[in-house]
Amino acid sequence: SIDSSICLFDEKLGLIIKNSKFNYLYEKDKTNYLNLIKDLEIIDVMKKAINEKQNQKSEVYILRLKRYFSVNVKYLDQDQRYLLSVKDITATKGMIEVQKTFISNVSHELKTPLTNIKGYVIALEDAPDPLKIQFIKTIKNNIDKLENIIIDFLNISKIESSNIVNIEKVPVSRVKTELQAVLNERIKSSDATISYNLNLLNKENELKIDFEKVLTILKNLVENAIIYRGNKVPEIEISIIETKSRYKIGVKDNGVGVGPEEIEKIFERFYRVDKARTSNKAGTGLGLSIVKELVERCGGKIDVISKEGKGTIFIFTILK
């Protein structure tokens, strides 16, 4: 019932007993450890324990399996026996790499606006009056960017720490009002228009949703449409189709679009289509990864239809 492969060998290195975990690591019907174990990476750890008559522990990467394993050999001194345990740690190693990448990206994302703010504050001290207004505007933009980064980090932390979905009846009018309010500054500065196309089963125009999660999803998708608009005035259409068990929601824009080679990458944390890490225009690179996680928490999935220069449609489903 344990999650490790366990093998006990006698003083002549013959197999006494083993469990059935990870049988693909071993040759069938073999008893001597050199014939039994398929991979040299594990054999090398065994050999070291045998030669030194000491316990050995090592992490190995088995190329043929493309997986990481923790290999432990315990030397049982009194019985002259060896106990081999092998545990698959691929998932753990993957998480460590994700954490390293995340910390590295966080440091970079925070450092850029802070460096900009510091530089412009120093320049502001000696700048002539006409330039002061421009410098203050740049500082404010970088402060806004820092605030957005922190909000996105808090959202990720909140998503990962809670599996609770709070379904409630919400009027569509409330969704429209709140979305307009939370994006008011971006909508005004870009002259964006948002239209709605509703096909609901109930006459009250109510949605049975987790309001906070759905609002965050829509906010991030609409904000993305405004940011990546190119030289166009953003035209965004939100469609909601209701079935007996779920909602199908689409967010369509007329922006720059996404190439086919980038479709799979856009939901990765910190990935940006324009690669402009220092751009004040670009977002944090976390918005779409938050969208994907929230959609999945609501029991749905998200798809993308896009063509460069022709705009993008995000279509996601959520359970009622």
Phi/psi at 230 (5° precision):
70, -135
pLDDT in tens, the chain (320 residues): 889 999 999 989 999 999 999 999 999 999 999 999 999 999 999 999 999 999 999 999 999 999 999 999 999 988 889 999 999 999 888 877 777 777 667 766 777 788 888 888 888 877 787 788 888 888 888 887 787 777 777 777 677 667 788 899 999 999 999 999 999 989 999 999 999 999 999 888 999 999 999 999 999 999 999 999 888 999 999 999 999 999 999 999 999 998 888 887 888 877 766 544 334 455 567 889 889 999 999 999 999 999 888 999 999 999 98
Distance CA(34)–CA(43), nearest Å, equals 7
Domains of the chain: 4-88 (3.30.450.20), 94-162 (1.10.287.130), 163-320 (3.30.565.10)
pLDDT of residue 161: 65
3-state secondary structure string, the chain?
Answer: CCCEEEEEECCCCEEEEECCCCHHHECCCCCEHHHHECCHHHHHHHHHHHHHCCCEEEEEEECCCCEEEEEEEEEECCCCEEEEEEEECHHHHHHHHHHHHHHHHHHHHHHHHHHHHHHHHHHHHHCCHHHHHHHHHHHHHHHHHHHHHHHHHHHHHHHHHCCCCCCEEEEHHHHHHHHHHHCHHHHHHHCCEEEEEEECCCCCCEEEECHHHHHHHHHHHHHHHHHCCCCCCCEEEEEEEECCCEEEEEEECCCCCCCCCCCCCCCCCCCCCCCCCCCCCCCCCCHHHHHHHHHHHCCCCEEEEEECCCEEEEEEEEEC
pLDDT of residue 61: 93
pLDDT of residue 274: 58
Residue 81 CB contacts under 8 Å (≥ 6 apart), including other chains: 8, 9, 10, 11, 16
Residue 2 CB contacts under 8 Å (≥ 6 apart), including other chains: 19, 21
| Whether 185 contacts 219, CB under 8 Å | no
pLDDT of residue 87: 96
| Whether 225 contacts 237, CB under 8 Å | no
pLDDT of residue 149: 77
pTM passes above 0.85: no
